[in-house]
Structure formats: C-alpha cells, structure tokens
Amino acid sequence: MANILSSEFLPEEQLKNLKLYKYSAVDKSFTTRFFLKHYWEWTITLFPMWIAPNLITLIGLCFMVISVALTVVFAPEMDAEGGPRWLYYGFAASLWLYSTFDNVDGKQARRTGTSSPLGELFDHGCDALNTSFAALLQAAALGMGHSLGSVILYSIAMFGFYLSTAEEYHTGTLYLGYINAPTEGVIVSCVVFILSGTYGPSMWQLPLGQVVPQSWSLPSVLATMPLCHVIISFIAFMFLFTHVPVCFFAMYKACRKNNKPFVSTMIVENFPITIYCAAFFFWVASPYSFILSHHHYILYTLTTGIVFGRMATKIILAHLLKTRFPRFTVLLLPLIGGAIISNLPSVLDIPPIFTPETEYYYICAYFAFALVAYLRWAVLVINSFCSYLGIRCLVIPRQKKN
C-alpha cells in the first residue's frame, strides 16, 4: 500500500515549480463587488480557526453529493412530475452552500496562513466534479427527464468549464467576467430551484406563450417552445456568443505573447474535450443505446463527470507545475468504446451489440473503474504536493494553529 500511494508520483523537477506559484484571479462581477464580497467576509467569521481550507471545500462538495443522492432516491425519473417539493429547495440550499464554502476557503487559507498551490488544485478539482452535479440537478429541476435536452445542458456546462480552465493555463489568471457562471449563474440556478420547489418542475414544461403577457406578439416557434427549452437556448446563446469568444481571445493574446501558434495550439488542446463531448453525445443519442429509454442517465453522467474531473484537474496541475498541456487521459477510452459499440449497428448494418442489461453492466464497470482510477490519482497527486511542501491536506499543522 505504501508503494501504491507513494509521494514520489510527481518528479521533483516538476514540483520545484511550485515555488513559483502565485495565485491570480480577476472577478469583474458587480454582484460580487457590491453584495457577495460582504456576505463572504461575514461568513468566514463563522468558521473556527482550526478548520483547514481544503476541508471547507470538501464539505461544500458534500452538500452537492447529498442532493444528487436524494435525486436518485426521490426523483430518479427527473421528469415534470418530479419529487417532493422540499427536494428542490434542498437543491438551492446545497448549491448556495457549495458556492459559499467555495468562496470562503481561500479567505480561510489567508486567515490561517495556510495558502498553498494545493489549495488551488483541490478547489478546482472539486469545482470540476461539481460541474456535472450541478448540470444533473438543473435538468431534474427543469423536469427534463432522461432526454437529449439534459444531454445538451450537460455538454454546455462541461465545455464551458474546460475552456475557462484552459484559459487559466495560458494566462495564469482565473478570469470571471461581469456576468459569470460561478456568480450570476449560481444565483439564477438557485432561483430556478426555488421556483421548482414552489410550483413544481412541471411549470417549466409550459409554453412560453402562456407565461408572457398576451400583448407580446411572439413568433409561433417561440410561443410554443417550453420554458425549459427557452432556458437551454439562452444558455447556449450566452455560451456561444459571450463565453467562447472571450476565452479564445484571451488564449489568442497569451499565445501571441509567448510566440506560440494559436490555431494549431487550440486544435491540439481542445481535442480532448471535443472527443469527450462527441463520444458522450453520440453514445447516448444512438438509436441502439438504452441510456435514455431505460433511465440510466444519472449513472451515465456521474461516470462521465468523474472522467471530466480528471481531465480538467490535470490542466490545473499542468498550470501549477509549468508542464505541457495534458493531451489525453486513459479514462476516455471506455467512453469512446461505448460510443463506438452503440453506433456500430448503424454503420456496419449488424445486429445491436448492446442490450439493456449489457450496456447497464458496461456503465457500472466504467463507473467503478473511473472512480478507483480517479481517487488513486488524486491521492497520489495530493501526497506529492504535501510531501514536497511539508503540509497536510485536510488538517492545519499545530504550529499554524498557534
């Protein structure tokens, strides 16, 4: 066991670059500046000095894990009928608490003198995992069920987070715009959750024409569009026309500054997330896949969410260690394999390979493999950081307490 969890997982040549670490972030949000900043400064006073910043981050993530578990128990269909109303209020509470804990952990680190590169890696790793949790809860609150709409919502969240992470790798700064997902996005999501708790998820299936004033002359396409589809369309619009251009422009400036070819760099570095989203979509959308029809979408997203967590966290690890941008992870192979297997009958005109049972067992095995591989990798990386920096991950050393 000692060899398996060895602290020598990362070479010392790379770990030496941790001495160059300096956290850099920019948050342009007016909501943060005028409201949330004061709320976070008050909230941090409620935490005792002995609690480690990374433990605060982990507790915040546990709130989201609990909400996902409650969804599996009380609203596994994620449809308009939904679960008990308190479930959606719980969604709002868990997301708000996660966001709060995620924003005060850094303040706790500065307050206790325990800031370190591990804090940024741990924080970002939890954010990467939480992206899939939040997308799943949003689909459930909108009553979208196991549908392609839920798939699209999930894909946008993953791609958006990946681009932000890649941008930080190139620029060295975490940039949050005037309207951003971790701030305004969280608030809007909490409002959606509260409305679902008050009126039920079925409200989001109403056509837009029944909700807006009749004096508004909407095109028939919009008037008959369900509210949940309106929300997804708005999210897609904001993603394509605000988030994507800002991220690529920032990376373009960084490439020019460092004399790197922009086009070829973007093609190579965005290849993993392109493969991820394509495999994710083509597997679940295949007519020979039973993920949606047999309601295995929650298990599917939890599995692929772990894979994404590994992908995004490896980018931040490369940023901290000043190493090459990660090109691939072995956890992608079963996802690509599932997409190929489910679509082979359409390409080669052969009998379906997957049955409802075999596909379910395949995803279960994939989940177990991804979880074990991710946890082992995370422990190895954390041990390497702690050993080199002389710190502990979830505990403040006694001398720091004093």
**Burial letters 93-125, b for 16+ CB under 10 A, else e:** bbbbbbbbbbbbbbbbbeebebbbbbbbbbbbb
Structure tokens at 385: 């950081």
d(CA 323, CA 302): 29
- CA 332, 158, 101: angle at the middle one, nearest 5? 115
Residue written as token pair 């949606």:
292
Judge whether 229 counts as a catalytic residue.
Answer: no
d(CA 12, CA 243): 36
Sign of the Cα pseudo-torsion (188, 157, 130, 400, in order): negative
d(CA 265, CA 284): 30
| Angle subtended by helix axes 227-238 and 148-171, to nearest 10 | 20
d(CA 262, CA 264): 6
Residue written as token pair 């597997």:
283
Residue written as token pair 């997804």:
232
Q: Dihedrals φ, ψ of 248, to 5°?
A: -70, -35
- Choose among 306, 314, 150: nearest CA to 235: 150
Residue pair 197/214 in contact (Cβ under 8 Å)? The answer is: no
Residue pair 358/291 in contact (Cβ under 8 Å)? The answer is: no
Sign of the Cα pseudo-torsion (307, 308, 311, 312, in order): negative
Q: What does the DSSP assignment read for 73-122?
A: HH-TT-SSS-S-HHHHHHHHHHHHHHHHHHHHHHHHHHHHT---HHHHHH
Amino acid (1-letter code) at residue 73? V
Residue pair 123/88 in contact (Cβ under 8 Å)? The answer is: no
Active site members: 124
